[in-house]
Chains A and B, each alone.
Chain A
Amino acid sequence: EVQLVESGGGLVQPGGSLRLSCAASGFTFSSYEMNWVRQAPGKGLEWVSYISSSGSTIYYADSVKGRVTMSRDNAKDSLYLQMNSLRAEDTAVYYCVRDRWLLSAFDIWGQGTLVTVSS
C-alpha cells in the first residue's frame, strides 16, 4: 500500500523551531518529487515547498522562504521540513504530498501532522 506518514508536529512557542518528518512506503520514493502542503485550522490549502527526486532542486513559498528548509534522505525513504523562527500564522496541519511530476498535481497525501505556534 502506498503510504506517507508524517510526524514531528506539536506545540511550539513563537520564534521556536520544529522538524517534521515523513516516512514513505509502498513506492519507489527516490523516483518521486515531493512537497509539503499546509492547512490552517478552518482554512484552505497552501503549498509550502517542493523537492526534486534527487534533492538537487528545492522551491519554497514566499510565506516560508528563509525560515524553512526542506530535505530528503532517499536511503531512508524519508522527507523532512526544518521550520525555524515560527510564527502564529504557521499554525496548521502539515501534509507530506507526492508529486505526479514537477508540481503538476499531488496524487498521494499523508494524514498530516498538526503544528501549533502559541505562547
Chain B
Amino acid sequence: QSALTQPASVSGSPGQSITISCTGTSSDIGSYNLVSWYQQHPGKAPKLIIYEVTKRPSGVSDRFSGSKSGNTASLTISGLQAEDEADYYCCSYGGSPTFVLFGGGTNLTVL
C-alpha cells in the first residue's frame, strides 16, 4: 500500500484556522478509527497531538482537533500561532500485512 496523501504545504495567518487533509483507502483510514497526527519541529522528534481520530493527549492544546469522513481524515488547527509552524504527519493503522501507514507530511507556514 502507498503512503497516505497529504498536501505538501498549507499556510495561514495568526488567529486563523487551517485544515490539513489525509487521504487513504478503505483498507486503512476507511476501516479503522486509528488515525493519529504528529507535529514535528525542525531537528526535533515528532510529537503525538491527536490519536484515535479525535482524541488529544494530555497537555495538547484544544486548538488542535481531528475528524474523519470515509477514507479521509483531517486535522484542524484553530487560532493559529507562530509556534504552530511545523511539519504535520498523519498516520493510520492498516491491518496485516501493511500495519502502519504515514502520510508524506504537510509543512505549515504561519504568515
Q: Spell out A's residues near B (CB within 8 Å).
A: 35, 44-47, 50, 59, 61-62, 95, 100, 102-107, 109-112
Contact = CB atoms under 8 A, between A and B. Distances in A.
B64 interface: no
Nearest to A45: B102
A106 B48 contact: yes
A104 B34 contact: yes
Contacts, number: 59
A59 B97 CA distance: 9
Interface of B: 3, 34, 36, 38, 45-48, 51-52, 57, 89, 91, 93, 96-97, 99-105
B102 A107 contact: no
A92 B94 CA distance: 23
- 8 nearest CB pairs, A to B: A105-B51, A47-B100, A105-B36, A109-B45, A44-B105, A45-B102, A104-B34, A44-B104
B103 A105 contact: no
Main secondary structure of the interface of B (DSSP, over half): strand
Contacts of B103: 44
Contacts of B102: 44-47
Given A44-B3, A44-B105, A103 B45 contact: no
24 contacts: A44-B3, A44-B89, A44-B103, A44-B104, A45-B89, A45-B105, A46-B102, A47-B100, A47-B102, A95-B46, A100-B51, A103-B93, A104-B34, A104-B52, A105-B34, A105-B36, A105-B48, A105-B52, A106-B36, A106-B38, A106-B91, A107-B51, A109-B45, A110-B45
B16 to A, nearest CB: 25
Given A103-B100, A107-B48, A109-B46, 7 more contacts: A44-B3, A44-B89, A47-B99, A95-B46, A103-B99, A104-B34, A109-B45
